[in-house]
Structure 1
């Protein structure tokens, strides 16, 4: 017996058998039938989500500024597990625990929208129970004049501990602010690392920043990175969770040149894709950040509507260690809807900035990871068509989408085959009320976003609407740390 116990294979087999018995004899005798999916597509992980928390930041004060939040617990695939119990409402409320809610998500599939208000306050969406799974929300602010003129709209932020933003600035003509929100009941502490054109910045005032419980803290980039035209930010929580957002007010002299939130960028990697670079006139700026200690050589591929191509004179760029680099793309994009794939010998991340033809309103989109399960997005009311831009950066791929109205009625649905390396456009008609979108990868790798651009000849009193909303895999379908191991997998 002693000899058997000293045998490594025997000990491993005994452990597996013990796990199997602990999990039930059915694991051995009646394994679950395999689920068949398209080749190249892994079955997305499904996690029971029984609690939701989203932070919806707001702009600074401005003339005639109006803000609202639209939220939904979306319709999920039939086999998606949800928490047990009654569908308790999800609260939309200011951070102050004594404040009354300003809205509630009451039923799955029905969009809840707060009343437009000039009383600008960060809102949190929180709750437990079955409605928590998949919750998505968008905060939208508009103003017809002043520093907030235009439209600023972005998905509400899930708290976490590690975030990247690319395309910020501390230069004259930009008033960028990192807004840190803490939805929890204990203080959080954050370190912010900044990278500029000449390398990593020495910014001691951005280290050890305390974000009070149920509160916000703002870091003005013009103070911690004065004069730095192009910036990348790495936000890391050293205690507690935060929901960061970068507010960007731009001016041309004394003339407002737009306001929006900078969407997050994917964690640096040797291959990243910036999706949903909107079509039309105006400026298209790509910013690439190399946070490593070595110079990066990056190669660019444009994924246009007709397929991939290398932009002449711009296909290769050198990015010094710890720095950011900017290139203009509007001349090579020719007004086409596109994405940009960046491959590098060092981990990098990136974002793109798009403006309207007058260069008085803008939006940004960060690099995103390929979808590995359904993504959900609430699209606010819009006077112009919104465009779903889906890119297959590699081989041919497939995608399915569903657009539903505020009452959960299907507006548009379709499955689409995607040409490898190309960007495909799907147009949604103007909507007087918010809608919500589900996008799911069927096969191959895809990245996606929704863009909104103003008409070529807007009316004089129109508030310009420029927006880019990223699509990212819902938390319900992401593999979660601490998930229980599959005992049956050891027996296959």
Structure 2
């Protein structure tokens, strides 16, 4: 395997250790996987973000981010191929499709990265969804969102591509941590987007009737489901607790691991946003708790041999979910122990994995999977994607 930095970047990191990295196997054969993670702690950005290395493609759906006050979302386009790419963007929001100058004809030169502010196309958009298409060269597209509430940094995340539009989607490995602290902080100004939510976009021409089901991994957990109507070309974002009776005073969605299942009569795309918060400040101290958030995208269905790498981070876990059950075996590489996971039909199972290790996945055909991290004011994760029929260079976003 060889690694090289992309030579040019709008972020002035081209050719440096901070540039996106291109990973390749000589001759193009075999499986290749990579992942990276970062922790930030500055006056205006804090939190933890992790992302998987992915293959460049001609079409990506990005579900997440916002351009409202205090929310900054950047679109990154990396072209690790030897051919210039011409990129077009389709942008959807809570009021329907967005039209703006500059959404098409975006040139991403071979071996370069472009970084674009989503607010430059659509300011004050609460629920953006971006469809990225590329001609010529292929690209790796992602979003980077950071949140600032007043003067307090509220988290950061890297948002990778979600599964393509489909009538049934699964978001495995949704990890809720610090739900009690988040619930206490919701009364503070500008904390309304800390509640667990589901974002669903309908890019088609007919209205979609959607059912969202929240399924706990634990057998003694309580799930819920509710219905949504999503107009053609629109995005809906609602609380994941929409189907929960909260009159009892208990937490609507307590700490634990969940799968979100989205079923629709029209093809849709989806992702869930989860937040976490640290301990509240001492009594009499008017300061916000440290917090972070993560966007968990709908995962693609796994087919054939699959390899995953685990980036460093707090409490990494891998989760599998699918309509049919089975036994999944993770063959550890480089000294990591093998792991066997029994996945119930229609449910989810997860296991702790070793940071810095890689695993060859066996027995997961037809399932979806993700890797998640959760710690004190640190939350992130990424989906696991199957290898494409013809593999090419992979790009790790800095």
Are positions 1:289 and 2:201 aligned together? yes
Q: Does 1:242 align with 2:153?
A: no
Distance 1:273 1:93 in 2: 34
Q: Could you say which residue in structure 1 is the equivalent of 2:299?
A: 368
How far apart are the structure 2 equivalents of 1:257 and 1:228? Answer: 18
Q: Deviations over 1:146-168 (max 9, x none)?
A: 33422222012311100001122
Greater strand share, 1 or 2? 2
SS at match of 1:222: helix
Paired residue secondary structure (2:36): strand
Shifted more, 209-218 versus 320-329: the winner is 209-218
Separation in 1, partners of 2:305, 2:154: 35
1:467 corresponding residue in structure 2: 380
1:453 paired residue number: 374
The residue aligned with 1:395 is: 324
In the alignment, the residues of structure 2 paired with residue 327 and residue 265 of structure 1 have an alpha-carbon distance, to the nearest angstrom, of 18
2:357 maps to 435
C-alpha offsets along residues 441-488 of structure 1, whole Å, 9 cap, x if unaligned?
A: 356x32111211114xxxxxxxx532212112133xx489xxxxxxxx
Among 296, 302, 309, the residue aligned to 1:378? 309
TM-score by length of 1: 0.66
CA distance in 1, matches of 2:38, 2:364: 34
Unaligned runs of 5+ in 1: 1-88, 103-116, 456-463, 481-492
Residue matched to 1:418: 343
Q: For residues 173-192 of structure 1, what are the alpha-carbon distances to aligned partners after superposition, in whole Å with 9 as ceiling and x for unaligned? A: 21101111122333211110
1:361 is displaced (CA, Å) by 1.3
Classify 1:177/1:380 alpha carbon distance in 2 versus 1 (closer, same or farther; 3 Å). Answer: same
| Secondary structure at the counterpart of residue 354 of structure 1 | strand
Structure 1 residue aligned with 2:246:
none
**Quick check: 2:89–2:103 contact (8 Å CA) kept in 1?**
yes
Shift of the 398–231 alpha-carbon distance from structure 1 to 2, 3 Å rule, reads same
CA shift digits 1:217-275 (9 cap, x unpaired): 22211110111110111001133211111111111122111112112111101111111
Distance 1:256 1:397 in 2: 42
Report whether the alignment pairs 1:205 with 2:102.
Answer: yes
- Partners in 1 of 2:136 and 2:390 — Cα distance? 23
Matched-pair contact (CA < 8 Å) for 2:215–2:222: no
Aligned length: 352
> Larger % of helix: which?
1
Mapped to 1, the partners of 2:272 and 2:297 lie a distance apart of 6
Taking the aligned partners of 1:245 and 1:401, their CA distance within structure 2 comes to 27
| Inter-partner Cα distance in structure 1 for 2:274 and 2:48 | 13
Gaps of 5+ in 2: 180-194, 242-250, 279-289, 392-398
CA contact (8 A) 2:176 2:275 kept: no
| TM-score under structure 2 length normalisation | 0.81
Q: Which deviations, in whole Å up to 9, do the C-alpha atoms of 1:82-106 show, x marking residues without a partner?
A: xxxxxxx413334259xxx99xxxx
TM-fit CA distance, 1:279: 3.1
Give the Cα–Cα distance (whole angstroms) in 1 for the partners of residues 340 and 54 of structure 2. Answer: 29
Partners of 1:137 and 1:159 lie apart in 2 by 14
Alignment of 1:23-422 (within 5 A): 89-95=1-7, 120-129=18-27, 132-282=29-179, 283-306=195-218, 314-329=225-240, 332-358=252-278, 360-382=291-313, 384-392=314-322, 394-404=323-333, 408-409=334-335, 411-422=336-347
